[in-house]
Amino acid sequence: MTHFADRIADAVGRKRSQVVVGLDPVPDLLPVELRGEAVLGREHAAAACARFCCGIVDAVAPYAVAVKPQSAFFEALGSDGIRALEEVCDYARAAELLVIADAKRGDIGSTARAYAAAFVEPRGELAPLADAVTVNPYLGRDAVEPFVAACRRDHAGMFCLVKTSNAGGADVQDVRLSDGTVLWQHVAELVREWGDDLIGDGGISAVGAVVGATFPQEVAEARRLLPRAPFLLPGVGAQGGRPSDLAPAFTSGPASALVTASRSIIYAYRSGVEDDWRAAAGGATAHLAHEVWRAAGW
């Protein structure tokens, strides 16, 4: 197993893509052929979501480097949903996609160890559920340390929330500090420290940052603060971020940032251009990959 950032670099180079497809399965939004089953109860809804996500994996695998299952949508279906999550993650890995579990976990050390075990450590004889996980910094260094340890020991990756894509993030992340900076910039400094000794062969760390593509100026500033962190950039598509604004994220190399889109890809069929939901998702991914590759300028 190679370093997480080098696994990203390999996938980006092979596929000429920096796109991550977010898997946000919502029973009410599934294609009609699956929606009928989803109304029969949680177990059926979870099975329908798994089939949907596996179909998306097949469709986007040539054009995406990773999938990003959003844990919340699986958790909303209870234990059946988590079984679906496990199935989808295993399926994506078999399709040679990286898996980034979007879980945004954060807790005190002893608990964070359990979260690291849940998401990025080997599950007994099974591979880890995911290659990387998103992490929340509010509880500070000891809450993040178990994930950093998994990066070191199990070649996992992590993406710490720095500046999120939603408007409300400003309530906390944009608060002005006594030294004139704002909170997310302080968090960026912490992320740099956490990842400083986990740099891969390509010069990029296993400890990355989530920075909203909805805030292009902040993306550029975050890159200045975090020259060696891989960026995970959500907010393109349904949330309004534009690939053409993201060039500054890629100044550390073509594999130094990943652009993630969820609803605009997996539910592309709902906009009606393409009837087949798989073909619509594949087409939307190929299109986004092309746009991002051009914006990255490598």
83 binds a copy of itself (CB under 8 A): yes
3-state class (DSSP) for residue 163? strand
Give the integer Cα–Cα distance in Å for 187 and 193. 10
Give the integer Cα–Cα distance in Å for 183 and 102. 22
**Total residues in contact with a copy of itself, by rule CB under 8 A:** 63
Question: Applying CB under 8 A, which of residues 104, 192, 242, 290 lies at the interface with a copy of itself?
Answer: 104
Measured from the CB atom, the residue of 18 and 165 that comes closer to a copy of itself is 165
Give the integer Cα–Cα distance in Å for 200 and 179. 32
Tell which positions 9-28 bind a copy of itself, by CB under 8 A. Answer: 24, 26
Residue 281 Cβ vs a copy of itself, minimum distance, rounded to whole Å: 18
Give the integer Cα–Cα distance in Å for 252 and 102. 24
Question: Look-up: residue for tokens 């500054």?
Answer: 248
DSSP conformation letters of 93-148: HHTT-EEEEEEEE---HHHHHHHHHHHHS-BTTBPPS-SEEEE--TT-HHHHHHHH
Give the integer Cα–Cα distance in Å for 218 and 112. 28
Residue 164 Cβ vs a copy of itself, minimum distance, rounded to whole Å: 5
228 binds a copy of itself (CB under 8 A): no
Question: Applying CB under 8 A, which of residues 50, 161, 206, 226 lies at the interface with a copy of itself?
Answer: 161
Measured from the CB atom, the residue of 111 and 251 that comes closer to a copy of itself is 111
Phi/psi at 70 (5° precision): -90, 110
Active site residue 104: yes
Joined tokens for residue 259: 């652009």
Question: Applying CB under 8 A, which of residues 28, 32, 176, 272 lies at the interface with a copy of itself?
Answer: 176
Question: Applying CB under 8 A, which of residues 173, 256, 264, 285 lies at the interface with a copy of itself?
Answer: 173
149 binds a copy of itself (CB under 8 A): no
Measured from the CB atom, the residue of 186 and 242 that comes closer to a copy of itself is 186
Q: Cα torsion for 251, 266, 55, 254, to the nearest 10°? A: 0
Q: Which residues are catalytic?
A: 104
List of residues contacting a copy of itself (CB under 8 A): 24, 26, 41-42, 70, 72-73, 75-76, 78-80, 82-83, 85-86, 104-112, 114-115, 117-118, 123-124, 129, 136-145, 161, 164-173, 175-178, 180, 183, 186-187, 190, 239
